[in-house]
Every structure is written in C-alpha cells, then in structure tokens.
Amino acid sequence: MSNGKYDVVVVGGGPGGYVAAIRAAQLGGKVALVEAADLGGTCTNWGCIPTKALLRSVECLVEARRAREFGVILGSIDFSLEVIVKRKDDVVSKLRDGIKYLLDSYGVSLIRGRGRLKNPNTVVVSGADGSKTEVEGKSIILATGSKTRLIPILGLSDVDVMTNEHDALSPKKIPESLLIIGGGPEGVEFATIYSNLGSKVVLVEMMSTLLPLEDEEMGVRLERALSAFGVSVYTKSVVKSVRAKDGAVEAVISSDGGETRVSVERVLLAAGHVPNVEGLGLDEVGVAYTKKGITVNERMETSVKGIYAVGDVVTVSLAHVASEQGVVAAENAMGLNSTYDGRVVPRCIYTMPEVAAVGLTTQQAREQKINFVSGRFPLTASGRALTLGETEGVVKVLAEKESKRIIGVHIFGPRASDLIPEAALAMKMGATLSDVAKTIHPHPTLSEAFKEAVLDALGEAIHLARRGRQRS
C-alpha cells in the first residue's frame, strides 16, 4: 500500500469533480483526482453529451424530411444507426480526452480506482487489479455522482431493461416498439430520439403532466409535440407489471381510467437517478447524509470539517450545478470563503422543440402566494421563427406585481437552451421587466420573443393584438 499527500483529494471525475480539481490547482494546490471509470462522469459518458449527439443526428433527419417545405428537393432519406452511434462515441471520446488534457495541464494527479474514506484526511483507493493505495489530503471533495433509480415494478428484473448506462445510448438496432418509464427530462429526450428513428414509443409518467418539475404549460405543450411524432403518452399512470411473452414484453399500465395492456419489443427505464453514497465510508467517518444525498452547507462542506461534497451525490440535479458547486468547494478547500447560490439555475430539456426555464414555475408562485403578473409571446408571431419554419412554441415570463422583478422564465421552442441564459442573467442581476423591455434586441432573432413576453407582462407588447388581459 503506497502513500501520497496532497492539498486536495477529489473523489469522482465528473463535471463536479474534475472542475473542482482544476480550480484547486489554479489556486496553487497539489491535487489528486480519484476515478474508477471514464473521466467526465455520467454527463460526458452516459448523459448530457451522448444524448445531445444522438439528438443532433435526429434533428438532421427531421430537417431532411422537411426539406421540401423549403424548396430543397432531396433523394431518398435514410439513416445509418452505426454511423450515428459512432459519431456519438467520437464526440464523447474527444471530450473525455479533453478533460484528461486539462487535468494534465494543471498538474492534477489522476489515480485510477474506487475511493473510500478511511478518516477525514485519507482516501483508500481500490484499483481494478486489487491493489490498495492510501491518498492523504488536507481537504477531500466527494463528487461521486448518481446512478439510475430502480423502481419496484413487478417483473422488471426478469426482462432486459435499457437504461442510459445500458443499451439506450448505443443500440445495435432500433426497436420496433419501446416502452419508456418516466416522463422527466431523460424520458422525453429518449422519446424524441427513438420515435424519430422509427420506434413506436409508449411514454408513461406518474404525475399529471410530462416534466412534472417544470411549468405545467410546458409539459402540456411537450405532450402535444411528442404526440405529433407518434408517441403515445400516458400521464397520471404507472407501469404496474411487465413480463416476457412470445419474444416481446407485455406491460400493464394503470391509469385513472383503468388498466391498459401494451406489447413492446423493449423497455427503457428513465425514472431518474439516486446519489452514489454507498461504499464511500460515510458512516465510519461520520459524514451526515440522507437518502437524498450528502448533507452540506452553503460552502459545500459536510458535517466533517475539511470534507466537501458536490453534484449529484449531494442532490441529483444538473451538470452545471455540479460544476459550480465544485468551484465553491475547491475555493474553500484552498482557504477562500465562497458560497453556493442556487437560486438562479437554468434548466434545459433537449426535445423538439426544446424546453428551457429558470426560476419559479406558475404553480410554485401560486403555492408561495406571490402576487405576480405574467406575459407570454407565441412564436407564431416571431419573424425569425417563421423564417426557420419552427413556430411551435412560446416564451412565458413571471414577475412580482409590485416590484416588477422577474421571478421566472419558461421557453418552449427552437434553441430554447440558447435563449435561457439571458433570462438567467437578468434574474441574477435582479432585473425588472422594464430593464429587459428597454434592452434593444436584434431583429430578426428568436431572442426578441423574450422581450415581447416581458412587454406583454407590462401590457405594452407591440407585436400582439390589443385584447383584454389577466395579470396572473
């Protein structure tokens, strides 16, 4: 058993861990990063990046199918699943190699293996070859991420289930039919991918709308969009049981209206993730945690001084949240005084059209009894959306009625993920409706829709017909 001493030891090389390692090194620290699998974690290898690479191929396919609308005459339109998957793998590999290059450039020591706390300053790393290495750090940052949440469905363990870690991102063939369990971001993205590649998709969500954590209107609009791609959506429903039958999978879907039986070729589980807290030695060292993740304060420090935790192991969230928390933890580990502010976090779902949001949903504002006004602008009235041929969508803005401070923005439409940062910056700066209304937006762009929604909340929308309005 060998021994190494560092200023900071980071356990986990995902978007929280590798960012923390780089930031600590930038501040002059001697840093070690412990990782058993591929660098980049779930985001780079099994989540954000590979799904977006697949979605880009699907976008090209859909655009080719629509080309005649724009006066472009193409020959036969088909796709190569092998090339689509290979391109996805190439993108993932390039980013993974890029992370390694960055770590090397900052002198971060990469230690391969699975890390476990021995005490508040020591991590024991178990290598794939059975070796044990003790690594000492003045501070330790835990960034072990999350794993697919398994749900208790009768018979599920007896069928071959697809997940983002297994099969779903690298299919050998597109199943003729597919049952997707879970209508959150992961489920709706896979529904978009597989339905456009030829699967007859059945999507089941237990809550009343898809994307249940987002604004209800966005979930309703997305259900309509997915239905147009041929997806059969069941909300307020659960998969009661599954079983292999005659070379297929028979599933029983329980809804308010009774039970429905469907027969599909494959089942894809997309019911969310749970924190990777097992095997970290948390109990032995005294690090407090719950089933939702490791408990931390605003400095990302755990109940044990000098041990920090970031990302999905704290609370399953978003890659950019993990990275920001990683920066905060690293700065505190290196003697600075930083705090994490999660009040303004943009959220993006990469369907067709996309969904993006920041701040409160309409239902949250009502639950909190906030007196608010709202404004919306349909993309059917957007010149840029018309030129793109993508007019399905809306921008919705919520603001406090008295102060006019923006408290929530929701976008359903093309490139929503590229539009939401402006809204996030506005909220971070405490902007009011007037601040955005007085900001000149270029024409013709999709970004004008944000300004028009703001103007609508003020009762001053230029490109909406005059009408009676309701302010909440």
- pLDDT surpassing 60 at residue 99: yes
Compute how many other C-beta atoms are within 10 angstroms of the C-beta atom of residue 139: 25
**Residues 78, 172 share a domain:** no
- How do residues 252-268 score in pLDDT, each as one tens digit? 999 987 999 999 999 99
Three-state helix/strand/coil letters over 107-170:
CCEEEECEEEEEECCEEEEECCCCCEEEEEEEEEEECCCEEECCCCCECHHHCCEEECCEECCC
d(CA 117, CA 112): 15
Instruction: Say if 469 falls within a structural domain.
Output: no
Mean of the pLDDT values across residues 80-106? 97
Tell me, yes or no, whether 111 and 209 share the same domain. Answer: no
pLDDT per residue over 139-196, tens digit each?
Answer: 999 999 999 888 899 999 999 999 988 899 999 999 999 999 999 999 999 999 999 9
Statement to judge: residues 34 and 115 lie in one domain: yes
Average pLDDT over residues 78-91: 97
Does residue 41 sit in the same domain as residue 127?
yes
Residue 341 resides in a domain: no
Residue 41 pLDDT > 90, yes or no? yes
- The reply to whether 324 and 363 lie within a common domain is no
Q: What is the mean pLDDT of the chain?
A: 95
> What tokens were used for 52?
């977006």
Residue-level pLDDT at 465: 87
Q: Is residue 367 part of a domain?
A: yes
pLDDT value of residue 467: 67
In a domain, 338, yes or no: no
Beta strands at 161-162 and 266-269: parallel, antiparallel or unpaired? parallel
Domain shared by 195 and 140, yes or no: no
Q: Are 69 and 132 in a shared domain?
A: yes
What is the pLDDT at residue 472? 45
Is 472 a member of any domain? no
- State the amino acid at position 333 in one-letter form: A
Together in a domain, 453 and 434: yes
pLDDT of 4 strictly over 80:
no
Do 365 and 372 meet the contact criterion of CB atoms below 8 Å apart?
Answer: yes
Tell me, what CATH number does 237's domain have?
A: 3.50.50.60
- Indicate whether 74 and 88 sit together in one domain: yes
Question: Which domain CATH number covers 424?
Answer: 3.30.390.30
Catalytic residues: 443
> What CA–CA distances, in Å, run from 189 to 77, 132, 152, 208, 372?
23, 40, 23, 18, 32
Q: Which of 249, 271, 293 is the C-terminal boundary of a domain?
A: 271
pLDDT digit string, tens, across residues 103-127 = 999 999 999 999 999 999 999 999 9
The whole domain housing 423 covers: 353-457
Last residue of a domain, one of 271, 302, 324: 271
Instruction: Summarize the confidence of residues 208-216 as an average pLDDT.
Output: 96
Name the band, by pLDDT with cuts 50, 70 and 90, for residue 279: very high
Are residues 295 and 222 both part of a single domain? Answer: no
Q: What is the model's pLDDT at position 466? A: 76
Strands 200-204 and 177-181: parallel
Pair (376, 388) in one structural domain: yes
* Confidence at residue 471, expressed as pLDDT on a 0 to 100 scale: 46
**Does some domain include residue 343?**
no
Contact 48, 186 (CB under 8 A): no
**Number of independent structural domains in the chain:** 3
Domain end (from 271, 286, 316): 271
Q: What is the separation, in whole angstroms, between the first and last Cα of the chain?
A: 65
Percentage of residues in the chain with pLDDT exceeding 70?
A: 98
pTM of the model: 0.94
Q: Is residue 409 part of a domain?
A: yes
The answer to whether position 193 is within a domain reads yes
In tens, the pLDDT along 391-443 reads 999 999 999 999 999 999 999 999 999 999 999 999 999 999 999 999 999 99
Same domain? For 76 and 207 the reply is no
Which pLDDT score is estimated for 84?
A: 98
Q: Across residues 34-50, what is the average pLDDT? A: 94
Fill in the amino acid letter for 369. Answer: K
